[in-house]
Amino acid sequence: MFDMADTPWLTIIGLGEDGAAGLSVAAKAALAEADLVTGAARHLALLPDLKSEVMPWPVPFDAGIPRLLEHRGRQVAMLVSGDPFWFGAGTSVTRHLAPTEWVAYPAPSTFSLAAARLGWPLEDTACLGLHAAPLSRLRRHLAPDRRALVLLRDGEAVAKLACYLDDLGFGASHLHILEALGGPRDRIREATAATLAFDDIAHPVAIGIAFAGDGTVLPRTAGLPDAWFEHDGQITKRPVRALTLSALAPKPGETLWDIGAGSGSIGIEWLLSHPSTNAIAFEADPVRADRIRNNAAALGIDRLQVVEGRAPGALADQAIPDAVFIGGGLSDAMLDALWKALPAGTRLVANAVTLESEALLAGWHAAKGGTLMRIELSDAAPLGTRRGWRASYPVVQWSVVS
């Protein structure tokens, strides 16, 4: 009898453009023993001599997972591109399975094939899968003399990538267009982003980008210049933002609540700190909420959830945070609601500018502890024919662990 607890029923097989010729002995044996083989039509076409039952994988991809799970208990082979667990289909499937239900036989990934053809070190090259992700994910990687390997959907997406780079001042970037690597249709062509004119780019396609140009490079430190954000004045200014992010102390995998988000600068920089972080921006003003979304998109951030509503009511039923920042709407009722609702160990940071909100934070500091800091900044400004210091409103910051 077949025992699903001990015997894998699913074999995930990485397939290259060379079809059966590139498969390992173990992968070939799994195909020979399979009751059912499933995969995209392109993958199935690379193995025309299959003897088992064949089930084409549907579009969109997620629609095929329930169909696959219906075949638990049979010997199933699933064909995917290259390495299933590097921007591949593997994780999308195995998250629904126990570890004992599947085995995988990866083939060289497109990234590996591309690096081998170009002579680029993978450990020093950004690798991104942008089949269904915005091109703006490239934004943080745009810097002269840096490199990236990017997987794209088709030739139209390649043209859009070239325009994206050109529009941001990186039109001089050298593009290697790598089509159907490792198979009989293998082809590599070159152009700059500004001059790309190919209209016959074949799928699957990867692009090797050697960035060049005089576009603006996104700094990697906390406290981006304010000019990176559209705002109506409701923004935590750069020096205070840097201190605020230091107090919030983002760590990989953590979630932030950015309450009264304004321009979204705190939440966006939290997300820029590490690709596994998450953030929810709460903003009552719909115009500002749209501006937050635009700011996030411009900086290549697509993990920011924007909730239009006023805290504390809007906080209900949201993912539990590891840290909370209050930039707007500070009140005794909000602090009281947060203190009662947040789990122990949550980091809370609140900034105050008015005398009333300063007094509020001073009272909570006296009752709950933490750190209370007064931030006073001055900029040099013209003073008659000379210069003097122009003071900004001081900011009082309370940071505490619940």
Write the pLDDT tens digit of every residue in 211-247.
Answer: 999 999 999 999 999 999 999 988 999 999 999 999 9
Which residue do the tokens 């933490």 mark?
370
Residues 6+ apart with CB under 8 A from 378: 389, 390, 391, 392
Mean pLDDT over 173-188 rounds to 96
User: Which is nearest to 358 in space by CA: 372, 370, 368?
Assistant: 372
Residue 340 pLDDT > 60: yes
User: Which is nearest to 315 in space by CA: 356, 360, 305, 262?
Assistant: 305
Residue 1: the pLDDT is 36
From CA 99, how far away is CA 7, in angstroms rounded? 10
Mean pLDDT over 151-176 rounds to 97
The overall average pLDDT reported for the chain is 95
Return the percent helix, strand and coil in the chain, to nearest 5.
30, 25, 45
Residue 206: the pLDDT is 97
Q: How confident is the model at residue 385 (pLDDT cuts 50, 70, 90)?
A: very high
pLDDT in tens, 81-129: 999 999 889 999 999 999 999 999 999 999 999 999 999 999 999 999 9
pTM: 0.89
Q: Are strands 386-391 and 323-326 parallel, antiparallel or unpaired?
A: unpaired
